[in-house]
Amino acid sequence: MFVDSHCHLDFPELISDLDSIMQKMKQNEVEHALCINVNKPDWDNVINLTEKYDNLSASVGVHPDYENTAEPTVEDIVKYAKHPKVVAIGECGLDYYRLAEPLEWQRDRFRVHIRAAIEAGLPLVIHTRQAPKDTIKILKEEGAERCGGVMHCFTEDMKMAEASLDLGFYISMSGIVTFKNATQVQEVAKNIPLDKLLIETDSPYLAPVPYRGKRNDPSYVMHVAEKIAELRGISLDEVGRQTTSNFYKLFPKIKSNS
């Protein structure tokens, strides 16, 4: 069995086809998916979506790419975190790829999410792109080891992975690990401890080989696991079992709800 630790089922590309996707998940032995919130106005919609299915959970957060949007407060996030379906805080973090300085608003927003996660007692879902030093620096300054979390869709190097692991964070691999030129990501997937590894689709984006360039959905997460099994020289079953166990360990609220 597999789990998808990061997807966006509320996005237009997927929500209109949700029943079919849920059936495909069942066929491919994907037993649970975590639906990630990216913008405050959508929090209720994502939570309402997950309430319709026992095998879906939600997060609450605001993505660092959303510049001109309603800023969440610690109190806002903690209030939503009490909902039974909300099992994580995020997606939050830093992204220096699309936006240019001054980005203090982005760093401030990141700190708000960390403080809320600590107060709520829920793990963080971190988006970090071309900002490894500041991401680790802020996590340390805010004491993020108290809540832990996951570096989602990891694309950084082994040094960043080790710094994240030192803070008690998990590393999640997306379909990027199946791409031919993704040697840095593959090196991380091969070498980090298996008990700190998660798998995800980040759907509807980043479909793994052999579906690269097409619409992604949680049923394809097994192909991420297949590539990790190949890289590590272990069975697909072992990757599936361990990453699923890791998922429920990081997000224990899911099991407590079942």
The phi, psi pair for 58, rounded to 5°, reads -130, 160
Within 155-212, residue ranges assigned H as helices are 158-166, 183-191
99: which DSSP letter? -
Sequence-separated (6 or more) residues with CB below 8 Å from residue 138? 94, 107, 110, 111, 114, 144
Residue type, 130: Q
Per the annotation, where are the binding residues?
6, 8, 91, 127, 152, 202
Beta strands (DSSP E) in 81-148 are: 86-95, 124-129
Q: How many CB atoms lie within 10 A of CB 233?
A: 7
Whole-angstrom distance, CA of residue 66 vs CA of residue 122: 22
Residue type, 164: S
| Bridge-based pairing state of the strands 149-151 and 169-173 | parallel
Give the end-to-end CA distance of the chain in Å, rounded to a whole number. 17
Residue 86 and residue 49 in contact, taking contact as beta carbons nearer than 8 Å: no
Largest CA distance in the chain: 47
Give bridge partners of residue 56 from the DSSP assignment: 33
Per the annotation, where are the binding residues for a divalent metal cation?
6, 8, 91, 127, 152, 202
Residue type, 195: D
Q: Which residue has the tokens 């108290």?
A: 146
Residue type, 135: T
